[in-house]
Chains A and B, each alone.
Chain A
């Protein structure tokens, strides 16, 4: 039996590749998707919005050439949709073009790049997709979205005719985990999902997905009592994680040493503006949430295009945006503020006026519930292991996935 001193605690999610040092560029290769997930912020899906190779080529040329503005030492090329693997042949051409141009220009990104995918997983076993994966495997990360149990997944992640997609995704998971054993999945929680949180995280861990990134939706969908139900689910998950020693090998982003303290830093939560999204017209956006098809109330917000380049003036608000300038007084004075997330795109969409400087507080009660359950988790685990875990160096980083 090992001594308690040596008990590993893996529960916090790892930092991403080149965390915060890389330029994150998102190509929205299509605005189409096989699914119509009920919580999806991309409310305007369509078949017409398809990226053309020539537009992607121009965007790459601009970004490789604009070294005075784009100074990051590495790059993550994100391919999303809709569903990106619907356009895998186009993506393959784009990736090849980037590699050749970066080599020709002797650009530092040639040595330091990744291709990243968030996919619904339906096409994972498609021969064209597998060819692409084999060709780029050393520079690739693929995240398949599985929302948890069949019941939870099929509640939200449905085909246009309302059928659930769980079985069609689940059959591709073994191969995915074989090819990408360190993969994580991203789970989104809305009001109706709350009763299934615990079982879903355990289910995903049971499937072999060791890292579960999970967050509540930022939109104002929460009903009275949701916070108590949420807290109860997280506490039940905490008990199960501790009792079955799952913390040694599994991680879940709901549990973090760093959340639930008063603010010390005045940093923005979100990387919008430091990231870049490119649509099929060649327009640049601060992130994918600022595209027209992601917004419900506001017009799209561009920060340039692949012909004229980045609009430095439109970038200025994003690059100087801090926490204090957008937060209400109650947030600045909140005793459990750290880890309370926001999405700049959702803020922009739902603000009273057209601004990115009005922070939504829709998840306030949910965050406080998470903090209580998180405190419970660390205190219980600390007592079990006989040490103050929150005084130890942290593994993960505060900002979770968005």
Chain B
């Protein structure tokens, strides 16, 4: 069931996930047309949808602001453009980690840290700087394709390195959440992105997409115009039950990004080795964190994260097919 709508206000709006946004076209109409934005807002109002507006690093103008404010929403803005957007989710690029002065005065923020492979060795340091200011941090690896053993090992090292800091902050009355470390502890089932199921995206051309990544990959591959009935071909392939690898997996914090799935394996319902391996590095780090929490006398009520012998659930899925009876229970 649709719960919210993402609206990409301009072609150069910030990316908040595994895709790269487009640049501004010189003299090009790269802002969402007002009538299309109005249609998106109306669609949200009529379908009880919250809207996430993706902002570029510039002002849009009064007419745009007025429409944005006419609906329940969240703003996602580049860190540098945070002024004038209190309560917005702030996107931080790992190549531009804010300095202490920039962070001064910030409290209880929601950050998205877009991490590049080249910056992996800086992850723990970046988190150490952001965590005290954060209510929540979502770490997103921007360039997943091509990750190998060196990257998995570095990612593991960095998560283990930040663990004491997260543990220290856990004693706070309002401990910050770190998606790749703390989410798995609170989850008893998959908590994926659910593009196409829980949310859709309106691109800056005013057309609908499964998520912003699909717009940037190919603007022509849209789901069509904003209207009452939205047809997604083979929609079932977005669902967990039709994903043979994911439905047997317990890396519940994984985004199960259908865009990366399709980009790397050509199928919406099949994750790449990179996605699975990274999610299992996070799962293992979460298991370690849970152990430390318990050692420190907290963590009561949290379910165990079992130790497993594999790093990629593909190895399990390929060995043993789910029974028909079990499939029907899903």
Contact = CB atoms under 8 A, between A and B. Distances in A.
Contacts of A356: 267
A402 interface: no
Given A325-B244, A351-B234, A352-B233, A316 B265 contact: yes
Given A312-B273, A352-B234, A357-B234, A266 B322 contact: yes
A266 B324 contact: yes
A349 to B, nearest CB: 14
Nearest to B231: A352
Interface in A330-352: 332, 351-352
A314 interface: yes
A353 B234 contact: yes
Interface in B258-282: 264-274
A316 B271 CA distance: 8
A265 B237 CA distance: 21
A316 B315 CA distance: 10
Contact of B321 (A266, A301, A352, A355): A266
B321 A354 contact: no
B158 to A, nearest CB: 24
Interface string A355-373: 1111000000000000000
B40 interface: no
A120 to B, nearest CB: 33
B266 A314 contact: yes
A6 interface: no
Main secondary structure of the interface of B (DSSP, over half): loop
A325 B244 CA distance: 7
Which of under 10, 10 to 19, 20 to 34, or 35 or more describes the interface residues of B? 20 to 34
A354 B262 CA distance: 10
Nearest to A358: B234
A321 interface: yes
B241 to A, nearest CB: 8
Contacts of B269: 317, 325, 357
Contacts of A324: 322, 324, 327
B266 A317 contact: yes
A376 interface: no
A271 B1 CA distance: 36
A319 B312 CA distance: 14
B242 A320 contact: no
| Most chain B Cβ neighbours within 10 Å, of A266, A316, A323, A352 | A316
B234 A321 contact: no
A322 B272 CA distance: 17
B318 interface: yes
A320 B317 contact: yes
Contacts of A264: 324
Given A266-B327, A322-B321, A317 B234 contact: no
B215 interface: no
Main secondary structure of the interface of A (DSSP, over half): loop
B323 interface: yes
A313 interface: yes
A263 interface: yes
A259 B285 CA distance: 49
A320 B324 contact: no
Contacts of A358: 234
Contact of A313 (B265, B268, B317, B321): B265
A255 B104 CA distance: 79
B289 interface: no
Given A352-B234, A357-B234, A357-B267, A320 B327 contact: no
Contacts of A322: 244, 321-322
A313 B243 CA distance: 15
Interface string B57-94: 00000000000000000000000000000000000000
Contact of A301 (B244, B266, B273): B266
Contacts of B273: 312-313, 316
Contacts of B267: 317, 355-357
A332 B244 CA distance: 16
Interface string B288-330: 0000000000000000000000000010011001111001100
B213 interface: no
A325 B245 CA distance: 11
A266 B328 CA distance: 12
Nearest to A332: B324
B93 to A, nearest CB: 26
Interface string A184-200: 00000000000000000
Nearest to B270: A317
Given A316-B245, A321-B244, A325-B242, A267 B314 contact: no
28 contacts: A266-B321, A266-B324, A266-B327, A313-B265, A313-B274, A316-B245, A316-B270, A316-B272, A316-B273, A317-B266, A317-B270, A320-B270, A321-B244, A322-B244, A322-B321, A322-B322, A323-B324, A324-B322, A324-B324, A325-B269, A332-B324, A351-B234, A352-B234, A353-B237, A355-B237, A355-B267, A357-B269, A358-B234
4 pairs of A and B residues whose beta carbons are closest in the complex: A353-B233, A320-B244, A317-B270, A317-B267
Given A317-B266, A317-B269, 12 more contacts: A265-B321, A266-B327, A313-B264, A319-B314, A319-B318, A320-B244, A320-B270, A320-B317, A324-B322, A355-B234, A355-B267, A358-B234
